[in-house]
Chains A and B, each alone.
Chain A
């Protein structure tokens, strides 16, 4: 009887202590606990980290090398979202899955849309045969893809001036969630914006050095609309080739003709999975197919595009080299 009551007392004490401890952990940043925030994808996560610094612990739902267009949330993501204090999303239809995810997580906190206040563009590549064909299959295509063709181009971060608006929105979101850190966030944001402005000037200088007639790129990415407008580069979709495993002679011929006709020297055709075919096309067009461009996600840490700034530096270097014909 004595042992039982001692054990019983022990368990009750443990229970009471844990009950008391629980509310303490779910507060905003007290004495060094970072605020848990969630960003929808890696590029946004990187920007939030730069503004939040050590005061925030950022998780990205769509990680590096991920594809937000076809992202399928898992139960782990639901939990991550449930624990978050603030959620940052891109908006403009980029995350078709976010509403359902917020619903399943029963997340009641603020959702900060990073593109608020940005002048959105419409999707480019509306009538290229190779990329997203329209016409009778428009409805079918729109349902299959996760982004809405009738609406806007969500890839606004590809223009560094928009990137600065993102930073402003992130800043106000963080201040609302964690007022104690206002000074830190403002300082971080100002420093980051200076970096973005410097990078913007650099990109303009680099690409400005390429003659206007050569500023054409063929790539299967349809994510460079804002980049094209901001930095004066024309992006074309590769005609004739989709992601089908087995290409047709007509498809290859159309692409070769397109490259020759447009006198394009920048060819980024990562969607062709057969490396020999890429080489063949390169041989016949006398154009060296370029490396990899990062548009919708960062590379993994240690990769060439592990941060938003690095992504721009990498892409611009690749584009400039390819356009200059080196």
Chain B
């Protein structure tokens, strides 16, 4: 019974196995990135990025036709450009990052729409560019897995300066360590993870797996690395449970996974260990004499 419910779907179907591995890879790569985005108050970047990639993909389509490689590359470059310009404006002027990001992604989106409509194509570009977790092929799997690996390695390398830059950028520049570079590397990682996620698994999955586990993890840990680990665990659990739900109850798979993550988030809000509603309003015994 348990076997039928939990293991059999993965044993029987290759596409289920691939989807599971893809969600694990995505969870591992996006978990820490999501935590850092949440800490830096850049949580809506993911969603904005999904729109910001449009002109790059459109330009790729105009120059090279329906080539997945060129469209993805174009999308990646467009996303990177938006992220960097937003960061630059935030550093150089007094406009904060969220506002400058919003401005640039909207400009980018509008440019993309104009490009698509003037080149008279009826093809839904986004349909071509964005994948679905049920259709993960070798190429998509390798892409997501390698990007996760690169992300984790790179994050490990720049971990300390990046964290200091998050919490106290003044200190970092005062000690001469040059905060800008680390922010740049971090933004590159964000864009890479998102674009790869879009291509392999679709926008909902990519952004959802980045933000929801991170938001939920906040209620279970206090320090950054434990937060990352909890986020990875929640991401993977959502992937597993979501896929099984989609299999047994005939629900679309991407949304099922994200709703599972959402359910975990809601439980965390209500009953998490730190700062949840239960923790704040139902205090446990402390300071016993």
Question: Which residues of A are at the interface with B, using a C-beta cutoff of 8 A?
Answer: 240, 244, 246-253, 256, 273-274, 276-277, 279-281, 283-284
A252 contacts which of B15, B249, B251 (Cβ < 8 Å)?
Answer: B15
Knowing A252-B15, A276-B137, A279-B137, say if A247 contacts B132 (CB, 8 Å). Answer: yes
Question: Which residues of B are at the interface with A, using a C-beta cutoff of 8 A?
Answer: 9, 12-16, 19, 127, 131-132, 134-137, 243, 246-256
B135 contacts which of A248, A251, A256, A276 (Cβ < 8 Å)?
Answer: A276
B19 contacts which of A240, A246, A249, A283 (Cβ < 8 Å)?
Answer: A249
**B127/A249 in contact, CB under 8 A:** no
Chain A residue numbers with a CB within 8 Å of B127 are 273-274
Chain B residue numbers with a CB within 8 Å of A248 are 246-247, 250-253, 256
**A252/B250 in contact, CB under 8 A:** no
| Distance A253 CA – B137 CA, assembled complex (angstroms) | 16
Chain A residue numbers with a CB within 8 Å of B253 are 246-249
- Give me 24 A-to-B residue pairs in the complex whose CB atoms sit less than 8 angstroms apart, sorted by A's number: A240-B250, A246-B132, A247-B134, A247-B252, A247-B253, A248-B247, A248-B253, A249-B9, A249-B15, A249-B19, A249-B134, A249-B243, A249-B247, A250-B248, A250-B250, A253-B13, A253-B247, A256-B15, A273-B127, A277-B132, A277-B135, A279-B135, A280-B136, A284-B13
- How far in angstroms is the closest Cβ of chain B from A44? 28
Secondary structure of the A contact surface, majority rule: helix
- How far in angstroms is the closest Cβ of chain B from A79? 28
- How far in angstroms is the closest Cβ of chain B from A25? 39
Chain A residue numbers with a CB within 8 Å of B247 are 248-250, 253
**A253/B16 in contact, CB under 8 A:** yes
**A253/B9 in contact, CB under 8 A:** yes
| Distance A277 CA – B136 CA, assembled complex (angstroms) | 8
Chain A CB within 10 A, most for which of B12, B15, B127: B15
- Residue ID in chain A nearest B253 by CB atoms: A249
Secondary structure of the B contact surface, majority rule: helix
- How far in angstroms is the closest Cβ of chain A from B19? 7
| Distance A79 CA – B15 CA, assembled complex (angstroms) | 53
Chain A residue numbers with a CB within 8 Å of B246 are 248-250
| Distance A109 CA – B243 CA, assembled complex (angstroms) | 60
**A251/B15 in contact, CB under 8 A:** no
Chain A residue numbers with a CB within 8 Å of B250 are 240, 248, 250-251
| Distance A251 CA – B131 CA, assembled complex (angstroms) | 17
Chain A CB within 10 A, most for which of B134, B243, B246, B254: B134
Chain B residue numbers with a CB within 8 Å of A240 are 250
Knowing A252-B15, A273-B127, say if A244 contacts B252 (CB, 8 Å). Answer: yes
- How far in angstroms is the closest Cβ of chain B from A85? 37
| Distance A256 CA – B9 CA, assembled complex (angstroms) | 12
Chain B residue numbers with a CB within 8 Å of A279 are 135, 137
Chain B residue numbers with a CB within 8 Å of A253 are 9, 12-13, 15-16, 247
Chain B residue numbers with a CB within 8 Å of A274 are 127, 132, 135
B255 contacts which of A246, A250, A273, A280 (Cβ < 8 Å)?
Answer: A246
| Distance A256 CA – B131 CA, assembled complex (angstroms) | 19
**B134/A280 in contact, CB under 8 A:** yes
Chain B residue numbers with a CB within 8 Å of A256 are 13, 15
| Distance A274 CA – B247 CA, assembled complex (angstroms) | 19
Top 5 closest A-B pairs, CB basis? A246-B252, A276-B135, A249-B246, A249-B247, A250-B250
Chain B residue numbers with a CB within 8 Å of A252 are 13, 15, 134
Chain B residue numbers with a CB within 8 Å of A247 are 132, 134, 252-253
**A246/B15 in contact, CB under 8 A:** no
> Known pairs A249-B246, A274-B127. 14 more at Cβ < 8 A?
A240-B250, A244-B252, A247-B132, A247-B253, A248-B250, A248-B252, A249-B134, A250-B250, A252-B15, A273-B127, A274-B132, A276-B131, A277-B132, A280-B15
**A276/B9 in contact, CB under 8 A:** no
| Distance A283 CA – B246 CA, assembled complex (angstroms) | 21
- How far in angstroms is the closest Cβ of chain A from B249? 7
| Distance A240 CA – B137 CA, assembled complex (angstroms) | 21
Chain A residue numbers with a CB within 8 Å of B19 are 249
**A249/B131 in contact, CB under 8 A:** no
Chain B residue numbers with a CB within 8 Å of A246 are 132, 252-255
**B134/A277 in contact, CB under 8 A:** yes
| Distance A276 CA – B137 CA, assembled complex (angstroms) | 8
| Distance A246 CA – B127 CA, assembled complex (angstroms) | 11
